[in-house]
Structure 1
Amino acid sequence: MTFKLDPKMTLGYVQLRVQSLEKQKEFYQMLGFHVIKESNSEVIFGAGSTEPILILTTTEDAVPRPTRTTGLFHFAILVPSREDLAHVIGNLLEIGAPISGAGDHLYSEAFYLSDPEGNGIEIYRDLPRSEWLIEPNGQVNTATEPIDFKGIMALYKPERSWKGFPDGTILGHMHLNVTNLDDATSHFYLKALGLDLMTNFMDSAFFMSAGGYHHHIATNIWQGVGAPLPPENAIGLMGYSLKLSSKDELNKLKENLLTFNVSFSEDEGKIIVKDLNKSDMIFYA
């Protein structure tokens, strides 16, 4: 029987290496994240709860990520409803946040921006699954259409107090620049990790998930086929976490990693896998 990653899997937090911790902290607080814990070298943020969703870590040797290298395309913050999306975006527009784009992806409505060090951020809401366009092969149809900005902002209520991201906000998906979409990509994500390929977008991006979601992880070659990895101490993505529903599901994953000869380490009940970009994928239950 083909292994499938826990269909109840959810993403937990994303960790970024930064150069200016103070500047980045100020930016993410402006966006609506709140500080849970901090030190001289790290800030842990929540978004609508006390669960970590974003960790910023600085190191003395951090250097800029070179252009045309692999790494983070964006991390995506999922809010519970269209009303919540209007609430967040309306408040960000009020303070002049650097929103750079938006799109209707047929299964979600999304807005885009980047932080001061160039890390991409998506803020989005999902349409009900009953409205997604499913192809005969089971894959999810997607596109980037003009967003219904007027329809969204008609739901914006300035009188609703701004306290940052609303309750129920989570890390919805991760989107990565990679070197290739090849057999090694399929071996790692589809066979070893047990994700499903939900969309092959124009042979330039794989959108993959567990449990039929449109995507928990996307990989693209938009930095160019054969794009090199950045230096290990480059700013950007360090890793991200994936929460499984039980220890049994975690053990099933461990057995499948062994079957497909994918190396991993274990730490306090967590399984840590290096992805094809050498970022940490931290699985726990």
Structure 2
Amino acid sequence: MTSFHEAPAVYTGAVYLNVLDLDAMKAFYTDIIGFRVLSEADGRIELTADGKTPLLVLENREGLHAKRPNRAGLYHFAILLPSREDLGAAILHFIQKGVRLGASDHYVSEALYLNDPEGNGIEVYRDRPADEWNWNDGQVDMATVALDGDAVVRSAQEAGRTWNGLPEETVMGHVHLHVSDLAETERFYREGLGFEVATYYPGALFMSTARYHHHLGLNVWNGEGIPAQEKDSAGLKAYTLVFPDGAAVLKAAEKLRAIGAEVSEEGGQSVTADPSGNRIILQAGA
């Protein structure tokens, strides 16, 4: 499952959210989503699935306000489970908790959709095996059709799989963002960060490395030319792209500067932002 989320791929790592109610969000992400607390101090909570790797970081500080509509920012972040059986166990868990769900079959994956208490979008999904994905002329076939939820649940029941929180093998599968301009955004991620377009979709494009169906979703469904979300807004603060090593981060920083993007050093990390103001932490893998 993780071959697309380990070197030599460049892939999504931890997502950072500014939150208004830290206690309520901690309760939701541990009780409902199934994360474990990795660390907690000074208005900041790191959440993990494996007990060592942060996948979601919640931060609260004075002066934050609710996010504005029709801005760039997070559409959803996507939690990738190891198997269909795990997704079936998650469905039963969410139903037991009374969570309102959306669900789709995307051909390459089977997915659930929900929102956290502050309106941040979440996808929980499992991938079909990569040899079942259909590529045509360099693009992977993806669609949005009805999920056979009964079959997914049966797979869990037949395997005796029950919900005990997120499995340790869970990773941050992808991040899907609202952006202001698709062509400009494509150029940034392709020329600056080395991503390739996996497929185009009405008002959106999906990009990846290593022939994954997508590590990044990018859409203009909030409107073209939308402004960036303010720095003091709740919602997405930043997300992480994990590179194979420090040399790969330095090379990416050079390419970004060559196309006119700014790269700064913040707390020992290289940080940039896409043309819509979505902040990206460039992290060297272990």
1:189 and 2:189 matched: yes
> Does the Cα contact within 8 Å between 2:180 and 2:227 map onto a contact in 1?
yes
Task: Give the structure 2 partner of residue 10 of structure 1.
Answer: 11
1:147 and 2:147 matched: yes
Shift of 1:267: 4.6
1:255 and 2:254 matched: yes
The 1:228/1:257 distance shift into structure 2, 3 A limit, reads closer
Unaligned runs of 5+ in 1: 1-5
Task: Give the structure 1 partner of residue 35 of structure 2.
Answer: 33
1:1-285 pair list within 5 angstroms: 7-30=8-31, 31-99=33-101, 101-136=102-137, 138-157=138-157, 160=161, 162-182=163-183, 184-202=184-202, 204-267=203-266, 270-285=269-284
Any runs of at least 4 consecutive aligned residues in structure 1 with deviations exceeding 4 A, and if so which? 158-161
Give the match's secondary structure for 1:272.
strand
Counterpart residue identity of residue 46, structure 1? T
**Structure-2 separation of matches of 1:269 and 1:8:** 22
Shift of 1:232: 2.0
CA distances 1:9-59 after superposition (whole Å, capped 9, x unpaired): 232100000101111111111120111111241111002332100001012
**Structure-2 separation of matches of 1:194 and 1:159:** 42
> Does the Cα contact within 8 Å between 1:49 and 1:168 map onto a contact in 2?
no
Task: Give the structure 1 partner of residue 3 of structure 2.
Answer: none
The 1:178/1:214 distance shift into structure 2, 3 A limit, reads same
> Does the Cα contact within 8 Å between 1:90 and 1:156 map onto a contact in 2?
no
Shift of 1:97: 2.2
**Structure-2 separation of matches of 1:57 and 1:253:** 27
Shift of 1:161: 5.0
CA distances 1:97-148 after superposition (whole Å, capped 9, x unpaired): 232x110011000000000100000000011111111112x11111101111
> Does the Cα contact within 8 Å between 2:84 and 2:156 map onto a contact in 1?
no
Counterpart residue identity of residue 150, structure 2? K
Task: Give the structure 1 partner of residue 4 of structure 2.
Answer: none
RMSD after superposition: 1.7
Shift of 1:231: 2.3
Worse-matched range after superposition: 60-69 or 115-124: 60-69
Worse-matched range after superposition: 251-260 or 27-36: 251-260
Shift of 1:250: 2.0
> Does the Cα contact within 8 Å between 1:265 and 1:271 map onto a contact in 2?
yes
Give the match's secondary structure for 1:156.
helix
> Does the Cα contact within 8 Å between 2:228 and 2:278 map onto a contact in 1?
no
Give the match's secondary structure for 2:155.
coil
Counterpart residue identity of residue 63, structure 1? H
Shift of 1:227: 2.0
> Does the Cα contact within 8 Å between 1:77 and 1:123 map onto a contact in 2?
yes
Task: Give the structure 2 partner of residue 3 of structure 1.
Answer: none
Q: TM-score, normalised by structure 2?
A: 0.91
Counterpart residue identity of residue 35, structure 2? F
CA distances 1:78-99 after superposition (whole Å, capped 9, x unpaired): 0011111112222121221232
> Does the Cα contact within 8 Å between 1:102 and 1:146 map onto a contact in 2?
yes
Counterpart residue identity of residue 123, structure 1? V
Aligned residues: 276
Give the match's secondary structure for 1:93.
helix
The 1:143/1:270 distance shift into structure 2, 3 A limit, reads same
Counterpart residue identity of residue 188, structure 1? F
> Does the Cα contact within 8 Å between 1:48 and 1:168 map onto a contact in 2?
yes
Counterpart residue identity of residue 154, structure 1? R
> Does the Cα contact within 8 Å between 2:14 and 2:55 map onto a contact in 1?
yes
Shift of 1:66: 1.4
**Structure-2 separation of matches of 1:151 and 1:48:** 28
**Structure-1 separation of matches of 2:149 and 2:278:** 35
**Structure-2 separation of matches of 1:7 and 1:103:** 30
> Does the Cα contact within 8 Å between 2:104 and 2:111 map onto a contact in 1?
yes
Worse-matched range after superposition: 260-269 or 71-80: 260-269
